[in-house]
A and B are shown apart, each in its own frame.
Chain A
């Protein structure tokens, strides 16, 4: 069975669009488009909200409410919204399926980003926050220049788990039915074409793994080395001792 899956994946006619079938490349683009739009909307909602809740401590019940959403079965909500929304669209358009899918994907992506951003800001060392205020930073400066960079590792881990869930659920969207790599899984199942079904599984798994690796690489460059701890002991010690002498010198002149 494994060899027939490899044969299916290696067949160039499965990658290009043909008159009868949509190819892997096109479905991959559709999958990335659905996931990308949902992640962008979720990020635009959850990141500012999480920063605000973490910074002010107000509205923290929203985080608990968003987390309670996770108990909902994704497939059920997807089907429910589809039968509610899809009949309102007619003709050769898939808008009636895209809208419910995007709603579910956004609802799915918000809780991990929101709760991790909130937790990240909450977990910033109070001494660091005090120092920033003591330097004369305003509230928004403290938030954007101190609390946000310090909470980046947690924000990234939330965004990565949101990405994985969105890619996984965008696959299930092929069930309602919509394009994307899940098409091969559900078409293979319907046609009893198991190499196609398993090949689709391989593609989805590969997409999830590469998206996570890519985000891990972005995280490595975006997060300050002082926070992630990827900095050698020597480099830390040197500026520290210099700082110490500077403060002593200042004290002496005063």
Chain B
């Protein structure tokens, strides 16, 4: 009986019990993981909006800007994490290095998305908006950006889901987030495999990615009421 009990406690399906036993710690990591995934995308979008607008407004800016952002996106996440501190003059292990690296990735991804989203606005629409009296700034915020929302939110979904996975990588260099569950499970797996924390980490990461993805889709619906009006 005791053998059965001990083997079932390390079974992968015991992750819920593990979660209940370490609730406050796990919820803390979940919260860290959430803001580390979301905040860089928000800041990244705020930086990418003017850059994307520039790339759309001045066509010669587009090719070099896409080369630079493509280059940034090429750098593996773990390498970018350790390269941030010397570039920004931080200590070698600084909690700020993860959000900074993720912001760089988000900007690199979203500049192209914003530029392509603004390019998806048809010339007729822009001419019509100008004809009914919109000045360039008002036209940008009240006509062009709203029409670009579906393209931009599609980019946000990609960025958020990618971030959830990359934040877990930061756990391997000791940053506090759900990646710690993998470190814990790995350390507790000698000599025998101990699955609950690892499975819990994977489940929470997938759920977080799912929830973030669904909230961006909800945001998209909220911001583009006219698309529903057309469909029904």
Chain A positions within 8 Å of B, measured between CB atoms, are 1-2, 5, 70-77, 79-80, 82-84, 87, 164, 167-168, 171-172, 175-176, 182, 185-186, 189, 194, 197-198, 200-202, 204-205, 208-209, 212
Contact = CB atoms under 8 A, between A and B. Distances in A.
Given A171-B78, A172-B78, A189-B174, 17 more contacts: A73-B164, A73-B201, A74-B168, A74-B169, A76-B168, A76-B205, A79-B185, A84-B193, A172-B172, A186-B173, A189-B93, A197-B82, A198-B86, A198-B92, A202-B79, A208-B79, A212-B74
Nearest to B207: A71
B150 interface: no
Interface string B155-175: 000000100110011011110
Contacts of B164: 71, 73
26 contacts: A1-B85, A73-B179, A73-B201, A73-B202, A75-B165, A76-B205, A77-B202, A80-B202, A83-B185, A87-B192, A182-B78, A197-B82, A197-B92, A198-B82, A198-B83, A198-B86, A198-B92, A200-B79, A200-B82, A204-B79, A205-B76, A208-B74, A208-B76, A208-B79, A209-B71, A212-B74
A84 B98 CA distance: 29
Nearest to A194: B92
A87 B74 contact: no
Given A76-B202, A83-B195, A1 B186 contact: no
A205 B75 contact: yes
Interface of B: prevailing SS: helix
Contacts of A80: 185, 195, 198-199, 202
B201 A76 contact: yes
B73 to A, nearest CB: 8
A2 B182 CA distance: 32
Q: Identify the 10 closest CB pairs spanning chains A and B, nearest first.
A: A168-B76, A201-B82, A194-B92, A204-B79, A83-B189, A73-B205, A201-B79, A83-B193, A76-B202, A73-B168
Nearest to A5: B86
Interface string B188-204: 01011111001101100
Nearest to A2: B86
B168 A201 contact: no
Contacts of A168: 76-79
A163 B16 CA distance: 36
Contacts of A198: 82-83, 85-86, 92
Contacts of B71: 209
Contact of A164 (B76, B181, B193): B76
B210 interface: yes
Contacts of B173: 185-186, 189
B206 interface: yes
Contacts of B172: 75, 172, 175, 186
A171 B78 CA distance: 8
Given A71-B209, A73-B168, A76-B201, A185 B193 contact: no
B79 A76 contact: no
Contact of A202 (B81, B83, B193): B83
A8 to B, nearest CB: 12
Given A194-B92, A205-B79, A176 B186 contact: yes
B161 A70 contact: yes
A207 to B, nearest CB: 9
A209 B161 contact: no
A182 B78 CA distance: 9
A208 B83 contact: no
B104 interface: no
A245 B202 CA distance: 65
A115 to B, nearest CB: 13
B198 to A, nearest CB: 5
Given A83-B186, A189-B174, A212-B74, A72 B206 contact: yes
